[in-house]
C-alpha cells in the first residue's frame, strides 16, 4: 500500500512539472465560457463601451472581477486598475468658420460638412498650406508649423516633418457623410500630442482639388474647445513565473476592451463591438483562468492586460508602454488579440485557423504554428494583410518600443466591422474555443522558454523596431 501511495505521489509530482497539453487547456477554456464573457461585454447595457463612458467602466470592473476569480495578482496602482489621467476635448461648433482658396477659387465650407478635433483655438487668415497626397508624400516642402492639407481619406503622420499648425483632411464625401467626430482625448500632462484637425467632406472641395490645384490657402476661425478631466483605466493582472532567474521577465497577452459607443440616431444606435474586441478580451480572460488553474507555472511571468481607448488611437497601450508594469527591457513580447470570434471574413470563410500580423517579423510564428497544430487548428500567414495590419492595433505601441509583438485574429474584415450589427450571437464560439486554446498553449510555451522571442533582421519591415530595442539589464 505504501508503494502504491508513493508511486501516486511521484506521478503527481512529475505531472506538476510537465508543460500542459492542448487537451488540458481545452478542458478549462470552453466555448460556453467565452460566450458568457462576450455576451456581457457586447450587451446593449454597456452601450458600446465608448472611451470614456459608463459602459467602459462597467466592462473594466467585469474584467477585473474575472482576473480576481482566476487568482491573478493585481498589478495596477489601484488593484487591477492602472489609472491614467486624460482630458476630453469637446469641439465648440458655434462660430466655426472655414474658407479655402484652391487655385484662386474661394470655397466657404458648409459647417454641416466638416468636423473639428482641436485642443486649442485656431485663427488663420489666408495661410498657405502644404499638401500631402494619398501616398503620404508632400507636394512641396512644408515649413515648421505650416498648415497641412491631406488630400486623402485617411492620414497617418509620415516621419521627418515638423508638427503642423493644423491638419485639414479632405475626405471623399461618398454616399454619406463620415461619422461625426467624438471628443478627442489628450493626456492630462505633457505637451499636446496632436495637431488641431479638421475633416471636410464637402464635394466642392474635392472637386477643386481634383482639378489639380497646387496652391491652397486657408482662412479659419475655430473656437476654443471645452476641456474636462477624465480617469481612464487599463486592467492588469499577473501570473507569476516559477523560475527564480526569469520570473522578473514577462510576456504580455493583451486586447482592447473599448469600442465605438453609440451613434446619435437610428433604430439600432449601439456599436456593440462583439468581435471587435469583446472576443479578444474574452480570450485574455479565459486564457488567464485556464493557465492559472494549471498545476505548473511557466518560467517567466505572464501579464494579462485589457486596454482602454484603442479605437481612439491606441491610447491605453501607448500609456502602458510609457508606464509599464514591468520594465520594457524585461518584456519579451506582446501577443495582442483582435477579432477572434467571427469566421465570416469578407474575403471568404475562416474556420479552423487564425493569423498573425507581421508573420515573418519575429520568431513567434513557429511557436503558434505548433501550438495550433496540437490544438487542432492552423496558424497561417495572410499574404495580403499580414504586414499592412501590423501597425493597426495595440501591438504597434510595443513594437515602437522595440518589443517583439504581433496581433492574432481570425477575420481581418467582416460584414459588420465597425457597424452596429457586430453582436454576440454572430460569433462562432466552438471555433473560437479551439483558437483560444491554441493561443493559451502558445503563450505558456513562449513564457516557459529560456529563449526570448526575437525580431527577424532579414525582414526589411523590422529595421525600425530592432533599432528601438533596449537590452535587458
93/374: higher pLDDT: 374
- Pairwise CA distance, residues 177 & 185, whole Å: 23
Of 190, 224, 258, which residue sits at a domain end?
Answer: 224
Residue that the C-alpha cell 510537465 belongs to: 18
pLDDT tens per residue, range 47-98: 999 999 999 999 999 999 999 999 999 999 999 999 999 999 887 878 889 9
Whether residue 200 is predicted with pLDDT greater than 80 in this model: the reply is yes
Supply 273's cell numbers: 463591438
Q: Which three cell numbers stand for residue 315?
A: 491610447
pLDDT category at 277 given cuts 50, 70, 90 is very high
Residue 146 has pLDDT above 60, yes or no: yes
* Radius of gyration of the CA atoms of the chain, in A: 24
Question: Is residue 405 predicted with pLDDT exceeding 60?
Answer: yes
Q: Is the same domain home to 391 and 314?
A: yes
Closest CA to 196 of 290, 92, 304, 268: 92
In a domain, 2, yes or no: no
pLDDT value, residue 167: 73
Determine the number of helices (DSSP H) and then strands (DSSP E) in the chain. Answer: 11, 20
Do both 291 and 215 map to the same domain? no
Q: Give the pLDDT confidence of 428-455 residue by residue, as tens digits.
A: 999 999 999 999 999 999 999 999 999 9
pLDDT band, very low/low/confident/very high, at 177 (cuts 50, 70, 90): very low
Sign of the dihedral through C-alpha 297, 298, 300, 306: negative
Same domain, yes or no: 298 and 442: yes
Closest CA to 288 of 461, 471, 65: 65
Note the pLDDT of residue 95.
83
What is the predicted pLDDT for the residue at 6? 36
256 grid coordinates: 482592447
Helices (H), 125-278: 203-210
Cell of 98: 472655414
Integer angstrom CA distances of residue 393 from 23, 92, 140, 248: 30, 30, 31, 26
Domain encompassing residue 70: 21-88+229-468
Model confidence band, residue 17 (pLDDT cutoffs 50, 70, 90): low
Give percent of the chain above pLDDT 90.
67
Count structural domains, the chain.
Answer: 2
325 and 366 inside one domain: yes
CB 472 within 8 A of CB 249: yes
For residue 202 the three cell numbers come to 464637402
Structure-model confidence comparison of residues 88 and 236, the more confident one: 236
Q: Can you give the pLDDT at residue 119?
A: 78
Is residue 297 domain-shared with residue 216, that is, in the same domain? no
Quote the pLDDT of residue 190.
Answer: 66
**Which residue among 194, 224, 254 closes a domain?**
224
Say what the pLDDT of residue 472 is.
Answer: 53
Q: How many CB atoms lie within 10 A of CB 57?
A: 16
Distance of CA 207 to the CA centre of its chain: 35
pLDDT (tens digit, 9 = 90+) per residue, 406-436?
999 999 999 999 999 999 999 999 999 999 9
Distance set, CA 158 to CA 155, 360, 427 (Å)? 9, 24, 37
28 and 71 assigned to the same domain: yes
Residue 106 pLDDT greater than 70, yes or no: yes
CA-nearest of 247, 281, 295, 246 to 73 is 247
Q: Are residues 186 and 74 in the same domain?
A: no
d(CA 370, CA 204): 55
What is the pLDDT, as a whole number, of residue 94?
83
Does residue 101 share a domain with residue 49? no
- Is residue 263 within 8 A of residue 329, CB to CB? The reply is no
132 CB-contact burial (10 Å; exposed 0-12 / middle 13-18 / buried 19+): buried
pLDDT value of position 150:
72
Q: What is the CATH number of the domain that holds 109?
A: 3.50.30
Final residue in a domain of this structure, among 224, 244, 272? 224
* DSSP calls for 396-426: HHHHHTT--EEEEES-S--TTTTSTT--GGG
> In this structure, is residue 11 part of a structural domain?
no
**Contact at 8 Å (CB) between 350 and 343?**
yes
DSSP 3-state of 400? helix
Domain co-membership, 374 together with 405 = yes
282 within domain boundaries: yes
5 domain residue, yes or no: no
Domain match, 28 and 49 both: yes
Q: Which of 38-52, 132-146, 248-262, 299-313 shows the lowest per-residue confidence on average (mean pLDDT)?
A: 132-146
pTM of the model: 0.82
Q: What is the pLDDT of residues 310-369, one digit of tens each?
A: 998 899 999 999 999 999 999 999 999 999 999 999 999 999 999 999 999 999 999 999
Decide: 172 and 151 in contact? Cβ < 8 Å.
no
pLDDT of residue 162: 44
pLDDT at 160 over 90: no
371 pLDDT above the threshold of 60: yes
Amino acid at each position: 500500500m505504501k508503494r502504491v501511495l508513493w508511486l501516486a505521489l511521484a506521478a503527481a509530482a512529475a505531472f506538476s512539472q510537465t508543460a500542459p497539453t492542448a487537451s488540458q487547456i481545452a478542458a478549462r477554456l470552453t466555448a460556453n465560457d467565452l460566450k458568457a464573457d462576450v455576451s456581457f461585454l457586447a450587451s446593449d447595457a454597456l452601450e458600446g463601451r465608448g472611451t470614456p463612458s459608463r459602459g467602459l467602466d462597467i466592462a473594466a470592473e467585469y474584467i477585473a472581477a474575472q482576473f480576481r476569480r482566476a487568482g491573478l495578482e493585481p498589478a495596477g496602482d489601484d488593484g487591477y486598475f492602472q489609472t491614467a489621467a486624460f482630458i476630453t476635448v469637446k469641439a465648440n461648433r458655434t462660430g466655426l468658420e472655414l474658407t479655402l482658396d484652391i487655385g484662386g477659387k474661394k470655397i466657404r465650407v458648409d459647417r454641416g460638412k466638416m468636423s473639428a478635433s482641436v485642443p486649442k483655438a485656431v485663427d488663420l487668415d489666408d495661410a498657405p498650406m502644404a499638401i500631402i497626397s494619398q501616398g503620404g508624400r508632400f507636394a512641396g516642402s512644408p515649413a515648421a508649423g505650416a498648415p497641412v492639407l491631406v488630400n486623402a481619406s485617411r492620414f497617418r503622420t509620415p516621419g521627418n516633418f515638423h508638427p503642423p499648425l493644423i491638419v485639414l483632411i479632405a475626405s471623399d464625401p461618398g454616399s454619406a457623410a463620415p461619422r461625426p467626430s467624438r471628443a478627442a482625448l489628450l493626456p492630462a500632462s505633457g505637451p499636446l500630442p496632436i495637431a488641431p484637425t479638421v475633416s471636410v467632406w464637402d464635394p466642392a472641395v474635392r472637386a477643386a482639388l481634383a482639378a489639380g490645384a497646387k496652391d491652397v490657402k486657408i482662412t479659419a476661425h475655430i473656437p476654443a474647445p471645452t476641456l474636462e478631466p477624465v480617469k481612464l483605466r487599463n486592467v492588469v493582472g499577473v501570473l507569476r513565473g516559477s523560475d527564480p532567474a526569469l520570473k522578473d521577465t514577462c510576456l504580455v497577452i493583451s486586447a482592447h476592451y473599448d469600442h465605438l459607443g453609440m451613434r446619435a440616431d437610428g433604430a439600432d444606435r449601439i456599436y456593440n463591438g462583439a468581435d471587435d474586441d469583446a472576443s479578444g478580451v474574452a480570450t485574455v480572460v479565459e486564457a488567464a483562468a485556464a493557465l492559472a488553474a494549471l498545476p505548473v507555472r511557466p518560467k517567466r511571468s505572464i501579464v494579462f492586460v485589457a486596454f482602454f481607448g484603442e479605437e481612439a488611437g491606441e491610447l491605453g497601450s501607448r500609456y502602458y508602454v510609457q508606464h509599464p508594469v514591468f520594465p520594457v527591457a524585461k518584456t519579451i513580447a506582446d501577443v495582442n488579440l483582435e477579432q477572434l470570434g467571427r469566421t465570416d471574413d469578407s474575403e471568404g470563410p475562416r474556420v479552423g485557423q487564425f493569423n498573425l500580423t507581421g508573420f515573418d517579423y519575429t520568431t513567434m510564428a513557429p511557436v503558434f504554428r505548433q501550438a495550433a497544430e496540437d490544438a487542432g487548428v492552423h496558424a497561417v500567414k495572410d499574404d495580403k494583410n499580414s504586414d499592412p495590419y501590423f501597425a493597426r492595433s495595440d501591438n504597434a505601441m510595443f513594437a515602437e518600443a522595440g518589443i517583439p509583438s504581433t496581433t492574432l485574429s481570425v477575420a481581418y474584415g467582416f460584414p459588420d466591422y465597425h457597424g452596429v450589427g457586430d453582436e454576440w450571437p454572430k460569433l462562432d464560439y466552438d471555433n473560437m474555443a479551439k483558437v483560444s486554446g491554441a493561443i493559451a498553449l502558445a503563450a505558456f510555451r513562449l513564457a516557459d522558454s529560456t529563449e526570448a522571442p526575437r525580431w527577424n533582421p532579414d525582414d526589411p519591415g523590422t529595421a525600425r523596431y530592432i533599432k528601438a530595442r533596449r537590452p535587458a539589464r
